[in-house]
Amino acid sequence: MPRFSAPLRFLQRIAADPAGLFGLVVAVLFTIVALLSNEISPYDPAHIAVIHRLEGPSRAHLLGTDQLGRDTLSRILVGSRTALGVSVVSILLAATIGAPLGLLAGYGPRWFGTVLLLLLDIVNSLPMIMFALALLVLVGPGFWTVVGVIAFFSVPGYARLIRAQTLSLGQSGFILAARAMGAGLGRILFVHLLPNAMGALLVVVTMDIPSVIGLEAGLSFLGIGIQPPTPSWGSILNDGFSFIRNTPDLVIFAGLPLVATTIGFTFLGERLRQILQPKAAP
């Protein structure tokens, strides 16, 4: 029984706070829409009908059309899939690489921690847009290029977070007890330290989703992200930007979901922080 009710109780606690509830609703809605976007979008987002270009909202096109006559609603819906895909994959990738590095830096040999911090500082000092442009030239644009760039620049954050958690947990009694029981490095890192850092990790992951969505939109806006015809909120904004004087709808409609998800996930992360790290909350 407790196995089943614990997650439910956790969701209840998140929803107990209005901001938390809002965040939860946005996150769930965003995920459902993204997963079902192909099924629920009224038109093929790549279907071009130049006769209907830059139309305002109508019964046929609820949010109007873009400069090629493509249905804006469909493009935004399918764009959410791109946003979710990029953020989930790149964050998972960054956390999977960053967490073990952070664990080892916080608990393993001291030289490793020192070397890693140096490397992370180097990564942090690289200009991301320049790096993305360079990679673009080398391997060409696309989903994996965007994911790669974002993951690469997110690894230091995760590694540092897990390292900090590990440093403070490393001296606790249960780690000593586990060592006294003959636990090896792997067991201490992944059985004892990592689960204790999961709360903090979850908070940061949640807070990171909107910033990654923003990054993807930013790269796509600059034309170095997701390439047409795949819709992305950033490229819709870019399209709309060219016609902002006569047709501001495009920018507004593509900007709204971006703002909503950002606020939603930030509220959710804030609420998770309140619940999981009561001491760290301001």
Partner 1 sequence: MTAPVLGIEDLSVSYTTPHGPLQAVSGVDLSVGPGEIVGIIGESGCGKSTLVAAIMGMLPGSARIGSGAIRFGGRDLVGLPREEMRKLRGGGLALVSQNPMTAFNPVHTIGRQLTDFQHREGVSNAVKRARITDMFDQVGITDPSRRLHAYPHEFSGGMLQRMAIAAALLTRPQLIIADEPTTALDVTLEAQIIALLRRTRDEQGCSILFVSHHLGAVAQLCDRVLVMYAGVVVEAAPVAELFRHPAHPYTQRLLACDPALDAGGDQPLPTIAGQVPNLVNPPEGCRFAPRCLCATGRCVRERPQPVELAPAHAAACHLVAP
Residues that bind partner 1 (CB under 8 A): 2, 110, 172-174, 176-184, 187, 191-192, 195-196, 198
Cα–Cα nearest to 162, from 123, 199, 210: 199
Minimum distance from residue 41 beta carbon to partner 1 (Å) = 42
143-169 helix and 110-125 helix, angle to the nearest 10 degrees: 140
Output the smallest distance, CB 199 to partner 1, in A.
9
Residue 87 CB, shortest distance to partner 1, in Å, is: 26
If the CB atoms of residues 138 and 181 are measured against partner 1, the closer one turns out to be 181
Please, which residue, 109 or 140, has the CB nearer to partner 1?
A: 109
Q: Between residues 2 and 127, which has the closer beta carbon with respect to partner 1?
A: 2
Q: For tokens 């979850």, what's the residue? A: 202
Please, which residue, 7 or 127, has the CB nearer to partner 1?
7
Cite the DSSP H helix spans in the chain: 2-15, 18-40, 72-107, 110-125, 128-139, 143-169, 173-180, 185-187, 194-221, 233-242, 249-276
To the nearest whole angstrom, how small is the minimum distance from the Cβ of residue 278 to partner 1?
14
List of residues 6+ apart from 275 with CB closer than 8 A = 10, 13, 14
CB of 178 to partner 1, least distance (A): 7
Nearer to partner 1, 197 or 204 (CB): 197
Q: How far is the CB of 174 from partner 1 (least distance, A)?
A: 4
- Shortest distance (Å) from residue 173 CB to partner 1: 3
CA 55 to chain centre: 32
Task: Determine the Cα–Cα distance for residues 21 and 249; give it in Å rounded to an integer.
Answer: 29
Q: Are 161 and 94 in contact (CB under 8 A)?
A: no
Toward partner 1, which CB reaches closer, 190 or 241?
A: 190
Q: Quick one: 77 or 204, whose CB is closer to partner 1?
A: 204
State the Cα–Cα distance between residues 221 and 231, nearest whole angstrom: 11
